[in-house]
Amino acid sequence: MTADLDYLESQSIYILREAYNRIDKLALLWSIGKDSNVLLWLCRKAFFGRVPFPVVQLDTAMELQEVYDFRDRIAGEWDLDLRVEQCPPEADMDQTLPPLTRAAARKTEGLKNLLRTGKYQGIMVGIRRDEQATRAKERVFSPRSLEGDWDVKDQPAEFWDHYKTRFDEGTHVRIHPLLHWTELDIWRYSKREGIPIVPLYFAKDGKRYRSLGEKNITFPVDSTAGTIDEIIAELVVTRIPERAGRAMDNEAEDSFERLRSSGYM
Amino acid sequence: MDIRNELNGQLRIVIVGHVDHGKSTLIGRLLNDTGSLPDGKVEQVHEMSRKRGMPFEWAFVMDALQAERDQGITIDTTQIHFKTEQRPYVIIDAPGHTEFLKNMVTGASQADAALLVIDAAEGALEQSRRHAFLLHLLGVRQVAVAVNKMDRVDFDQYRFEAVSQEIRAYLAELGLHTSTVIPIAARHGDNIVSRSDKAPWYEGPTVVEALDAFRPQQAPTELPLRFPLQDVYKPDDRRILAGRIESGRLRVGDTLRFSPTGATATVVSIEGWNHSQPIVAAQAGQSIGITLDKRIFAERGHVAHHEEGAPHVTHRLGVRAFWLTSEPLAVGKTYTLKITTGEHRVTVESITAVIDIEDLSSTPAKAVHRNEVAEVVLRSRSPIAVDLASALSRTGRGVLIDGHDVVGGCIVVEVDEGPTASANTTEVSHAVTADERNAANGHKGGVLWLTGLSGAGKSTLAMALERALFDRGWQVFVLDGDNVRNGLNAGLGFSAEDRAENIRRVAETAKLFADAGVLVIASLISPLQADRARARAIGGERFHEVYVAADLATCESRDPKGLYRRARAGEIPDFTGVSAPYEAPESAELTIDTGTVTPVEALGELLDYVDGAFGRNALKRGRV
């Protein structure tokens, strides 16, 4: 029974089509993880086989090799308009941030650099509410200043699938088509649709990546799940949070909130 | 728990209530007691509480934001997942603070059911009632009530019954059915997951049992088809109309009609990607794309439906609106009304009543302020395909947009079918008829000819009338005698011949405006009966003459432009009333004596007349 997946899929397609119709100069942020792979897949469904906007990877040159291999293969097979953007070095980051959070902030700066070019008004990101408490507060269409700042205290009204799609000059919008999905949904949908997956998610020698990030700040968790079915079974019973292997989240109580209010995904 | 159970329909619950009545605490407790918190969370919250010198604070589980922890309040709506033995849930936590209403609406609109939390000691305060009212408006029909902090009233049964009866009565008046009111103490876990022994007199369900008794909202597949278009794609030689079915079903081979255009075509295919089988049918809730047998004009905002059970097509709707922004909604203001994907410029024609959420009484008002709910009449220049919210909620509700922001929401409670361009016209007509213009404008086009002596008050009255009508959303324009002499009639002097030509040109111009649907207010001395008769002949039956009367002495004492003084001094020849005749009308449709009534009274009289002669009722009486 996968009627609930049909509902999730339909809702995401609706959001993608709204974004494509209402926002000029869209791009999709591809982290090459499981969520943004599902997002790309949904784009192909929404637009009948093609992804009609550029796909941007914010590269820190710190991803695992398997991630780069996967990127190059899929970009070719799916005929993506891939744009790789290099992120500035860690030395340029806000030095008041804790060190691991600082490393993560490189992507924020890479994104800001991209937005400063004025090439994009809408950035689609595959975040989900269940990943992290501050992401749970997100809107589907989330307005940002040019610098990417998120004014969490004054977010627009968003109800009955009416999204904020009009903006002042110099601002941009983050679009979150997967906000209502859960980690389990992502895996069940990937299985149903046969969506390609970076092999790092599957257990090797008792460890697997549950959430993929740069190799200096992301670590595999204990697991024996070697197939999608085993991952699904693991998630149904686990009480370990998804981002447990993301070092920066837990560095300080507000690490992630600080990252996000200054523009992190 | 086996995986199949996991796949049972997820239920979305919104938790609402007055600030400080304990919503976040209830949620924290619910998550903990159902074993839904990730490892380490309780320790984290212990640490956060300790750092702030507080006893263990369950609300920190939800109030993830630094500012929220420091101020001890929930700022924005958030969502969190948990599961009971029955099924998975998403909890939507909605803030209780009045100023955060837009966040509450954002949260609550996504819910299948609601849990309303009320403080046992304080009872249902304003926000509790407002939230209940909004739940109803937002379409949330299943509500359970938790009377919290029962420990503070020693689990007193009579106190519980009093609060319970009060809120039940209020909900019943709204038409919200609640079967369940539960006495709880969230901080201590009483009646959350396990039954409390402190309230032995209570025999109803616990919170979890009440949640498990709710039913997921069903996609309305059995209602009439509504397929609003989102976009049109041309990926190759196909022309795919994309959108989401909001209600009903659609099959390949169905004949669809598109409102408001009235175009019809047959569904050739339902397009998909990565489907092994051709798709032959689709239903409410699905995002789809279709191709048609002929190339009709169809675009975003048009609504496809079957021949039977068509939506209303209208220029005028009565809505129940809630207002979210500091700038008030006011009569005469223009907003964008967005219903599904269709956007329409609408003007607020009237505010029928503002609803008092305390006792649900109605009072008339000129404006609707933030957090208020009101009955409002909206007029659109373009025809809107719409349903009554009571019949088809998803196509019977919308948002109001001002500039870049969503400033309010509304549900459609009344549709004025009126004399409108028929939705049943199959042929696309290139001619816009007078009827259609009248329907779009909500009034007839015509000429209101104000005649009278200089200083009688014609211009003042004309300008005031123009303002008042414009504010009501009318298409209105003043052709002022003095103003046209600077442009259109710049070459004309004041000889009898030139005056006649002046009037003829103004009458012809006024007629063109009237043809275009505008109410023209022509303000000219036009002293001669013969000239006015010619103007009437040009204007036809839409020509209405208003005699702005004031005796010469009154006009001369006013002398706003100093003309009488100069005429008396012989500086202006042939000045009407002084050195040229004024022939008072014998059969004017209306006479207003500005010498005996105040300007406000004069405007009132004129407005009443215009309303009767050109307004909505005139439209109903007969077509022009």
Is residue B63 within 8 Å of B48, Cβ to Cβ? no
Q: How confident is the model at residue B77 (pLDDT cuts 50, 70, 90)?
A: low
Chain segment A101-126, per-residue pLDDT in tens: 887 888 888 888 888 887 899 999 99
Percent of chain B with pLDDT over 70: 91
**A-interface mutation test, from B60, B71, B103, B250, most A Cβ less than 10 A away:** B103
Same domain, A218 and A111: no
Same domain, A167 and A204: no
Question: Is residue A192 in some structural domain?
Answer: no
Question: Is residue A191 in some structural domain?
Answer: no
3-state helix, strand, coil in chain A (%, to 5): 40, 15, 45
Q: What one-letter code names the amino acid at B573?
A: P
Q: What is the mean pLDDT of residues B533-555?
A: 88
Is B194 labeled as catalytic in the residue annotation? no
Note down the domain range covering A120.
3-181+252-261
Give first-to-last CA distance, chain B, whole Å: 71
Which fold would CATH assign to domain B439-621? Rossmann fold (3.40.50)
**Average of per-residue pLDDT values in chain A:** 88
Residues 115-144 of B with CB under 8 A from A: 138
Q: What's the rounded Cα separation, in Å, for the pair B569 and B572?
A: 8
Range with the lowest mean pLDDT among A247-251, B53-57, B114-118, B344-348?
Answer: A247-251
Higher pLDDT, B108 or B231: B231
Q: Which residues of B touch A14 (CB under 8 A)?
A: 230, 244, 287
Chain segment B445-455, per-residue pLDDT in tens: 999 999 999 88
Residue B81 pLDDT exceeds 80: no
Cα B385–Cα B387–Cα B391 angle in degrees, nearest 5? 160
Domain boundary assignment for chain B: 3-212, 227-305, 314-430, 439-621
Distance from CA of B328 to the nearest CA of A (A): 16
B65 in reach of chain A (CB within 8 A): yes
Question: Is residue A126 in some structural domain?
Answer: yes
Chains A, B: CB contacts within 8 A come to 147
Helix (H, G, I), strand (E, B) or coil at B394: helix
Burial of B291 (0-12, 13-18, 19+ CB in 10 A): middle
B371 in reach of chain A (CB within 8 A): no
Give the per-residue pLDDT at A32: 93
Q: What CATH code is assigned to B3-212?
A: 3.40.50.300
**B-interface mutation test, from A38, A48, A145, A164, most B Cβ less than 10 A away:** A48
Q: What is the mean pLDDT of residues A157-161?
A: 92
Is residue B256 within 8 Å of A70, Cβ to Cβ? no
Distance from CA of B109 to the nearest CA of A (A): 6
Question: Is residue A122 in some structural domain?
Answer: yes
Q: Which residues of B touch A152 (CB under 8 A)?
A: 65, 75-76
Give the per-residue pLDDT at B94: 63
Q: Which residues of A touch B287 (CB under 8 A)?
A: 9-11, 13-14, 17, 46
Which one, of A46, A65, A57, lies nearest residue A85 by Cα?
A57
Is residue B53 within 8 Å of B23, Cβ to Cβ? no
Q: What is the mean pLDDT of residues B293-315?
A: 93
Q: What is the mean pLDDT of residues B128-152?
A: 89
Same domain, A159 and A84: yes
Same domain, A38 and A138: yes
Question: Do A232 and B3 lie within an 8 Å CB cutoff?
Answer: yes
Question: Is residue A188 in some structural domain?
Answer: no
Give the per-residue pLDDT at A91: 84
Q: What's the rounded Cα separation, in Å, for the pair B421 and B434?
A: 10
Give the per-residue pLDDT at A215: 80
Helix (H, G, I), strand (E, B) or coil at B405: strand
Range with the lowest mean pLDDT among A229-243, B237-251, B303-317?
Answer: A229-243
Same domain, A144 and A14: yes
- Count of the separate structural domains present in chain A: 2
Same domain, A47 and A140: yes
Q: What's the rounded Cα separation, in Å, for the pair A52 and A124?
A: 13
Same domain, A160 and A69: yes
Helix (H, G, I), strand (E, B) or coil at B272: coil
Give the per-residue pLDDT at B95: 60
B80 in reach of chain A (CB within 8 A): yes
Chain segment B384-405, per-residue pLDDT in tens: 999 999 899 999 999 999 999 9
Name the token pair of B601: 């009274």
Per DSSP, B185 falls in state: B
Same domain, A42 and A67: yes
Which one, of B615, B570, B609, B344, lies nearest residue B475 by Cα?
B615
Residue A199 pLDDT exceeds 90: yes
**Average of per-residue pLDDT values in chain B:** 86
Cα A141–Cα A142–Cα A148 angle in degrees, nearest 5? 140
Q: Which residues of B touch A26 (CB under 8 A)?
A: none
Q: Which residues of B touch A44 (CB under 8 A)?
A: 273-274
Same domain, A177 and A219: no
| Residue A86: half-sphere exposure toward Cβ, Cα within 13 Å | 3
Matching fold, domains B3-212 and B227-305 = no
Which one, of B189, B214, B191, lies nearest residue B201 by Cα?
B191
Query: Nearest CB to B79: which of A136, A254, A257?
Result: A136
Residues 375-404 of B with CB under 8 A from A: 394, 397-399, 401, 403-404
Question: Do A153 and B78 lie within an 8 Å CB cutoff?
Answer: no
Query: Nearest CB to A158: which of B38, B39, B106?
Result: B106
Query: Nearest CB to A155: which of B38, B76, B243?
Result: B76
B92 in reach of chain A (CB within 8 A): no
**A-interface mutation test, from B65, B109, B371, most A Cβ less than 10 A away:** B65
Please name the residue of chain B whose CA is at the shortest distance from the CA of residue A236.
Answer: B3
Residue with tokens 């649709």: A193
3-state helix, strand, coil in chain B (%, to 5): 30, 30, 40
Higher pLDDT, B488 or A175: A175
Q: What's the rounded Cα separation, in Å, for the pair B393 and B67?
A: 37
Q: Which CATH superfamily is domain B227-305 in?
A: Translation factors (2.40.30.10)
Residue B328 φ/ψ, nearest 5 degrees: -70, 155
Query: Nearest CB to A254: which of B4, B66, B289?
Result: B66
Residue A6 pLDDT exceeds 80: yes
Q: What's the rounded Cα separation, in Å, for the pair B50 and A253?
A: 13
Q: Which of B526, B557, B579, B587 is catalytic?
A: B526
Same domain, A74 and A202: no
Question: Do A240 and B405 lie within an 8 Å CB cutoff?
Answer: no
Chain segment B491-515, per-residue pLDDT in tens: 888 777 888 888 888 998 999 999 8
Helix (H, G, I), strand (E, B) or coil at B352: strand
Give the per-residue pLDDT at B70: 47
Which one, of B263, B200, B186, B144, lies nearest residue B25 by Cα?
B186
Same domain, A122 and A21: yes
Same domain, A26 and A108: yes
B240 in reach of chain A (CB within 8 A): yes
Dump the DSSP string for A93-136: S-TTS-HHHHHHHHHHHHHHHHHHTT--SEEE----GGG-TTGG
CB burial of B298-318 (b: ≥16 within 10 Å; e: otherwise) equals: bebbbbbbbeeebbbbbbbbb
Query: Nearest CB to A239: which of B39, B243, B403?
Result: B39
Residue B99 pLDDT exceeds 70: no
Q: Which CATH superfamily is domain B314-430 in?
A: Translation factors (2.40.30.10)
What is the ipTM, given to two decimal places? 0.92
Residues 555-614 of B with CB under 8 A from A: none
